[in-house]
A and B are shown apart, each in its own frame.
With several copies, the nearest count.
Chain A
Amino acid sequence: MRLEVWRCTLGSMKDAQAIIERVRRMSAALQRLDIAVDSAQRSVAPGQHFLARLTESWDPYLREPWIPIRQQGNSLTIERPTGRNYQPGEVVHLLGPVGKPIPLRDSTRTLLLIAYDSTPASLLMLAEQALAARTSVTMVLVGAAQGYAMEALPPELEVLRGDDKGEWPEQRANFGWADQIVAVAPPPHDVTRYGRLLEAVRKVRVEIPQGYLIGLFQPPMPCGIGACQACMIRCQNGQSLACIDGPAMDLLDVALG
């Protein structure tokens, strides 16, 4: 279960400053920021994110989640909605990396990624790394996720579209084909979405192996470090913290009822 990787990333958590180096508008709704980060924060893995603070003011109070979609040299690329203007040269406080890497199984050669009603940003780094390792990757954009800018996706990626109910024509075929599935659905509908997904997969695969069906949990995280207990996920067997044990959870372990 790549425990050593997790240990080491846990150890590298830091609250450091980063500088915005470049701001690119990707679409009406999206912009991408290249930021120069502290060396300890460079080694971020797919699934991990940062909690960012841009102001000395207490309003807004909470840090915002910044999800890296690419890492290159000193710099990370972050995807943000276009609501706020960022300036090159602006300094941002980054706390992280938060959470554990998405546990991609060594045997995975065909990977199905599903983004429900949200930007697929938290799946992009995983997709690029998997493609680079010659894994076949299919991404399904479901519901509101269909509005995502196609140009912003890697060209090698097969992209499908699902309707608001979370269904798409190739669904059964995809479930049969995939060696592993990783889905992202935003709160508050994450548990509902994942429950339906598990049901749908069960119809195709009689036996679902441990670690096969992964859901990302991204509730608001006040602390990001396991202290405030606000990000708890109810599990079959106790409870887990999204910021420490997640965001990637084996959906067989989660209480999806």
Chain B
Amino acid sequence: MIELTGGKQPLTVSNPVIAAAGTVGFNSEYTRLIDMSKLGAMVTNPVTWKPRRAATGTRVVPLDSGILVHTGLPNDGAHRVFRANAAYWKMSPCPIIVHLAATSTDEIGKCAKVLDMRDGVAAIEIGLSDTATHRDVRLMIAAVLANTELPILVRLPLYSAPLLAAAAEEAGAGAIVVAAPPRGTARDPLTGQMIGGRVYGPWLKPLAIRAVGQIVSMVKIPVIGCGGIHNPDDAREFLAAGARAVQVDSVTWVRPDMTEIIARNLGGLELTRVAGALADEWHPGLGETAALRSQLIVSPPPIAPPTDLPR
């Protein structure tokens, strides 16, 4: 087990791979494509105290090797979101971490209070605005701490993460998530307008890993790496840089199977790499297609199929 947060009541997870806020929804959306029980946890989409409507206009701009998304953090407000998802959170195959957008100390405090009384919520992740200051970090964490005993993760913006990390630790965060996706501006090919939004892609990885490396030497609480992970090796690079765990983001949208593969790989559950099949799906001959055979010539099977298949 991995202690994901410090503090009195640490959150422990069985796998270091977590689905990041904003990528897997509030509920069971991905259970149809991903075995969520293989993940260490899932972070919900952001929740605010008051309901928020979707942004108008363009909300997606395709980028070279990535995507810009501008949703406007739509959600039905804390009460309705918690009510609508309570049943699933209780029976979820992996721990649920609820992401609260740090709109104001008052509102985030109220959200935390409501969550504190709910079963099925393993922790709270605080999401800060890109312009958050030391003071914002301290006040938001204090507001949440005052209203819940739940472990608290704080997700810091990429650019300012090294500047804010120590403040988050001092204020009582149980773990730091490095980092939220940065914001960018790109031209919408359909309307010709310049659109601002969060940007995602594999290229986020070196930027986030650098920030992780800087921050692990500053704080004692666990650091959770996030940004641009697209395969198991990417995730391992974050661990090598000092992260305790990782959050997988936009790859889930474009290659949902990859999120499970990453979790299985880091959890030691990937046994039959050659055929690309799951351990419990493997049977003799599975890897014998022509396409797979041609790959084999380049790199021979690293290990023999296990005689004892884990469930």
Contacts and interface: CB of A to CB of B under 8 A. Distances in A.
B298 A82 contact: yes
B76 A238 contact: yes
A13 B32 contact: yes
Q: Chain B interface residue count: which class?
A: 35 or more
A62 B230 contact: no
A231 B71 CA distance: 8
Contacts of A10: 32
B25 A62 contact: no
A136 to B, nearest CB: 34
B117 interface: no
B1 interface: no
Interface of A: 10-11, 13-15, 28-29, 53, 58-63, 81-83, 91, 93, 95, 187-188, 219-234, 238-239
Interface of B: 22-25, 29-30, 32-33, 45, 53-54, 56-60, 62-67, 69, 71, 74, 76, 188, 190-191, 201-202, 230, 250, 252-257, 291, 297-298
Contacts of A234: 53-54, 56
Contact of B63 (A61, A81, A221, A232): A61
Given A232-B54, A238-B76, 4 more contacts: A91-B291, A222-B69, A225-B30, A234-B53
A123 B253 CA distance: 26
A57 to B, nearest CB: 8
B230 A232 contact: no
Contacts of A83: 298
B254 A61 contact: yes
A82 B296 CA distance: 11
Given A58-B202, A226-B25, A228-B22, A220 B62 contact: yes
10 contacts: A13-B32, A15-B257, A61-B62, A82-B298, A222-B67, A225-B25, A225-B29, A225-B33, A228-B69, A234-B53
B293 to A, nearest CB: 11
Contacts of A228: 22-23, 25, 69, 71, 253
B310 to A, nearest CB: 23
B29 A62 contact: no
B30 A188 contact: no
A28 B60 CA distance: 29
Contact of B253 (A14, A93, A227): A227
A93 B258 CA distance: 13
B253 A223 contact: yes
A28 B32 CA distance: 39
Contacts of B64: 58-59, 61
Contacts of A188: 57-58, 188, 190-191
B135 to A, nearest CB: 30
A239 B54 contact: yes
A29 B297 CA distance: 7
B254 A53 contact: yes
A223 B252 contact: yes
Contacts of A230: 59-60, 69, 71
Given A220-B60, A222-B69, A227 B297 contact: no
Nearest to A53: B254
Contact of B65 (A59, A63, A91, A227): A59
Contacts of A28: 297-298
Contacts of B69: 222, 228, 230
Contacts of A62: 60, 62, 67, 253-254
A252 B85 CA distance: 28
